[in-house]
Structure 1
Amino acid sequence: MRSCLSYPCWFCYWYRTNYSDCCHRLAQKKKKKKGCVWNDIVFTPFIKTHLCSPLSAKMGCRRTDCISKPLSGLFGKLGSTVGSYPFYFFVFPIFLSAALGGGFIFLNDRADNDLERQFTPRKGPSKVTRAFVRENFPYNDSMFSEDRLYDKPDFASLIAVARDNLNILDGLAFEDIIRLNNRILNMTVDNGRLGFTDLCAKVNGECVSNVILDILSSNETESHGLTYPTYTYRSSSVFLGSVLGGVVTDGSSSVRSAQAMKLFYFLGNHDAEASKLWLKGFKALLSADMDHKLIDVLLMLVSYYTSKSKQEEIDSHTTDGIPLFLITYACAITFSVISCLRMDNVRNKVWVAVFGVLSSGLAVLSSFGLLLYIGVPFVITVANSPFLILGIGLNNMFIMVSDWQHTHVKDPVPDRMAHAYKEAIMSITITALTDVLKFFIGVTSDFPSFRDSGSFERCKAQICHSNATLFQNPHIIKAAPRFLNFGERCRWHIHHGLQLAAH
Structure 2
Amino acid sequence: MPASFDYLIHRAFFQWGLLAHRFRLALLIAPILLTVFLSAGFIYIKQQTTIDPQYVFSPKSAPWRYERDVLSQHWPLNEQEFWPGKSYDYNGYIDIIAAGKFDRERGRPNMLSASYLNELERINQYIIHNLTISVTHNGKMYEVGYTDLCMSYDWKCYLNDHITMLMPKNKWADFRGKLAELANDIITNEEGHFDYVRAVRLTYNVREEKVGNVSYLWRKKVATYLADTNNPASGLIEFGMYHNESLPEGLQQVADSLTPKFAVTCTILFAFCGLSCVVLLNHNGFFAPDWVRSKPSIALAGIGVDDMFIMSAAWHRTNPDLSVARRLAETLAEAAVAISITSITDMLSFGIGCVTTLPSVQLFCMYTFAGITFTYLYQLTFFTAVMAYAGEWESHGLHAVTLKPAIDPRDADTLFKRLFMVGSAPRKDSLQRTDKIAPTYRIPTPIIQITSPKGITKAPPLSTKNNTLSIMEKINDAFVRLESKMDHSDQGLSAHHDRETFISKIFREVYGPFLLTESTKKAVLFIYLIYISFAILGCSMVEEGLNPKFLVRESFYLNKFYVLMDETFWREGLQMQVVVNSPPDFFNHFDRKKFQAMLDEFENTEFTMKHNATMLWLDAYERKLDEESKQLKIPLPKTNEEWYERCREWLITAGGRRLWEKDVVWGKNSSDPETYNHLYAFRFQLGLRNYRTPTDHVRSAQLMRAIAAKYSQFNVTTFHEYYPFVDQYIELKPALIRNCILALISMLIVSFIMIPNYGAAFAIAGAICSIDVGVVGYMTFWGVRLESVSMITVIMSIGFAVDLSAHIGYAYVKAHGDRKKKAIEALETIGWPVFLGAFSTVVGILVLVTVDAYIVQIFFKTIFLVIVFSMMHGLIFLPVLLTFVLPHAKDRDAEHEIPETVCKKDDSANRQPIKDKEELECARIDESSLAEIDLSDPVEKEQHTDSRVMDAGEAESKPVEETESNQKAINNNSFDDEIQSAENVSATKDGNLEESGQEHLKRSQGKNDAVNILPTEPGLRLLHSKIEKHESRAEMCSETENKKRDDFSHRRKSQPSEQDKRKMLEVESFQEAERLAAISDNKSGVSV
TM class by smaller structure: 0.5 to 0.7
| Other structure's SS at 1:336 match | helix
1:354 aligns with 2:292: no
Amino acid at match of 1:405: H
State whether residues 156 and 307 of structure 1, in contact with CA within 8 Å, keep that contact through their aligned partners in structure 2. yes
Seen in structure 2, the aligned counterparts of structure 1 residues 211 and 87 have a Cα distance that, compared at 3 Å, is same
| Other structure's SS at 1:238 match | coil
169, 173, 178: which one pairs with 1:221? Answer: 169
73, 88, 96: which one pairs with 2:11? Answer: 73
In the alignment, what sits opposite 1:422? 333
d(CA) in 1 for partners of 2:226, 2:396: 73
What TM-score do the two structures reach when normalised by structure 2? 0.32
Q: How big is each residue's C-alpha offset from its partner over 1:271-324, in whole Å with a ceiling of 9 and x where there is no partner? A: 432332221021123345x634564x1x44444333432222112112222233
195, 202, 217: which one pairs with 1:263? Answer: 202
118, 122, 125: which one pairs with 1:179? Answer: 122
State whether residues 139 and 148 of structure 1, in contact with CA within 8 Å, keep that contact through their aligned partners in structure 2. no
| Other structure's SS at 1:472 match | helix
1:330 aligns with 2:276: no
1:284 aligns with 2:185: no
User: Structure 1 regions of 5+ residues with no counterpart?
Assistant: 1-61, 227-232, 358-389, 493-503
Seen in structure 2, the aligned counterparts of structure 1 residues 252 and 128 have a Cα distance that, compared at 3 Å, is closer
In the alignment, what sits opposite 1:320? 257
Query: How far did residue 203 of structure 1 move?
Result: 1.3
State whether residues 248 and 258 of structure 1, in contact with CA within 8 Å, keep that contact through their aligned partners in structure 2. no
* Range with bigger deviation, 167-176 or 302-311: 167-176
| Other structure's SS at 1:83 match | helix
State whether residues 84 and 413 of structure 1, in contact with CA within 8 Å, keep that contact through their aligned partners in structure 2. no
| Other structure's SS at 2:322 match | coil
State whether residues 186 and 194 of structure 2, in contact with CA within 8 Å, keep that contact through their aligned partners in structure 1. yes
Query: How far did residue 401 of structure 1 move?
Result: 1.8
Amino acid at match of 1:210: N
Query: How far did residue 262 of structure 1 move?
Result: 2.7
d(CA) in 2 for partners of 1:292, 1:133: 41
182, 188, 196: which one pairs with 2:132? Answer: 188
Query: How far did residue 201 of structure 1 move?
Result: 2.0
In the alignment, what sits opposite 2:318? 407
Amino acid at match of 1:355: A
Seen in structure 2, the aligned counterparts of structure 1 residues 167 and 135 have a Cα distance that, compared at 3 Å, is closer
State whether residues 248 and 255 of structure 1, in contact with CA within 8 Å, keep that contact through their aligned partners in structure 2. yes
Question: Over aligned residue pairs, what C-alpha RMSD do you find?
Answer: 3.2
State whether residues 400 and 421 of structure 1, in contact with CA within 8 Å, keep that contact through their aligned partners in structure 2. yes
In the alignment, what sits opposite 2:151? 201
d(CA) in 1 for partners of 2:85, 2:95: 17
32, 38, 42: which one pairs with 1:94? Answer: 32
Q: How big is each residue's C-alpha offset from its partner over 1:253-273, in whole Å with a ceiling of 9 and x where there is no partner? A: 655564543322123453432
Seen in structure 2, the aligned counterparts of structure 1 residues 171 and 118 have a Cα distance that, compared at 3 Å, is closer
State whether residues 68 and 426 of structure 1, in contact with CA within 8 Å, keep that contact through their aligned partners in structure 2. yes
Seen in structure 2, the aligned counterparts of structure 1 residues 132 and 400 have a Cα distance that, compared at 3 Å, is same
State whether residues 159 and 260 of structure 1, in contact with CA within 8 Å, keep that contact through their aligned partners in structure 2. yes
d(CA) in 1 for partners of 2:190, 2:73: 47
Query: How far did residue 162 of structure 1 move?
Result: 4.0
Which structure has the bigger radius of gyration? Answer: 2
Amino acid at match of 1:274: V
Seen in structure 2, the aligned counterparts of structure 1 residues 147 and 320 have a Cα distance that, compared at 3 Å, is same
Amino acid at match of 1:397: M
Query: How far did residue 185 of structure 1 move?
Result: 0.8
d(CA) in 1 for partners of 2:19, 2:374: 19
In the alignment, what sits opposite 2:561? none
Query: How far did residue 251 of structure 1 move?
Result: 12
1:432 aligns with 2:372: no
Q: How big is each residue's C-alpha offset from its partner over 1:183-210, in whole Å with a ceiling of 9 and x where there is no partner? A: 1112222434532123212112211221
Seen in structure 2, the aligned counterparts of structure 1 residues 265 and 139 have a Cα distance that, compared at 3 Å, is closer
Q: How does 1:47-126 map to 2 (within 5 A)?
A: 63=2, 65-126=3-64
Amino acid at match of 1:457: T
Seen in structure 2, the aligned counterparts of structure 1 residues 157 and 235 have a Cα distance that, compared at 3 Å, is closer
Q: How many residues align?
A: 381
Q: How big is each residue's C-alpha offset from its partner over 1:406-464, in whole Å with a ceiling of 9 and x where there is no partner? A: 33333322222222222222221222111111111111111222222111111111111
In the alignment, what sits opposite 1:143? 81
d(CA) in 1 for partners of 2:213, 2:345: 44
| Other structure's SS at 1:264 match | strand
Seen in structure 2, the aligned counterparts of structure 1 residues 402 and 195 have a Cα distance that, compared at 3 Å, is same
Amino acid at match of 2:264: I
State whether residues 202 and 268 of structure 1, in contact with CA within 8 Å, keep that contact through their aligned partners in structure 2. no
Query: How far did residue 135 of structure 1 move?
Result: 2.7
* Range with bigger deviation, 132-141 or 414-423: 132-141
d(CA) in 2 for partners of 1:99, 1:420: 30
Q: How does 1:411-490 map to 2 (within 5 A)?
A: 411-486=322-397, 487=425
d(CA) in 2 for partners of 1:413, 1:489: 10
| Other structure's SS at 2:220 match | helix
Seen in structure 2, the aligned counterparts of structure 1 residues 291 and 76 have a Cα distance that, compared at 3 Å, is same
d(CA) in 1 for partners of 2:73, 2:233: 47
65, 72, 90: which one pairs with 1:134? Answer: 72
Amino acid at match of 1:356: G
d(CA) in 1 for partners of 2:81, 2:363: 39
Seen in structure 2, the aligned counterparts of structure 1 residues 399 and 197 have a Cα distance that, compared at 3 Å, is same
| Other structure's SS at 2:391 match | helix
User: Structure 2 regions of 5+ residues with no counterpart?
Assistant: 136-141, 282-289, 398-424, 431-1088
Amino acid at match of 1:400: M
In the alignment, what sits opposite 1:10? none
Seen in structure 2, the aligned counterparts of structure 1 residues 190 and 108 have a Cα distance that, compared at 3 Å, is farther
Seen in structure 2, the aligned counterparts of structure 1 residues 126 and 262 have a Cα distance that, compared at 3 Å, is closer
State whether residues 190 and 277 of structure 1, in contact with CA within 8 Å, keep that contact through their aligned partners in structure 2. no
d(CA) in 1 for partners of 2:256, 2:265: 15
Amino acid at match of 1:182: Q
State whether residues 87 and 474 of structure 1, in contact with CA within 8 Å, keep that contact through their aligned partners in structure 2. yes
Q: How big is each residue's C-alpha offset from its partner over 1:2-37, in whole Å with a ceiling of 9 and x where there is no partner? A: xxxxxxxxxxxxxxxxxxxxxxxxxxxxxxxxxxxx
State whether residues 75 and 418 of structure 1, in contact with CA within 8 Å, keep that contact through their aligned partners in structure 2. yes
1:339 aligns with 2:279: no
Query: How far did residue 118 of structure 1 move?
Result: 1.2
* Range with bigger deviation, 201-210 or 479-488: 479-488
d(CA) in 2 for partners of 1:430, 1:250: 67
- Identity across matched positions, percent: 22
State whether residues 86 and 477 of structure 1, in contact with CA within 8 Å, keep that contact through their aligned partners in structure 2. yes
In the alignment, what sits opposite 2:285? none
| Other structure's SS at 1:161 match | strand
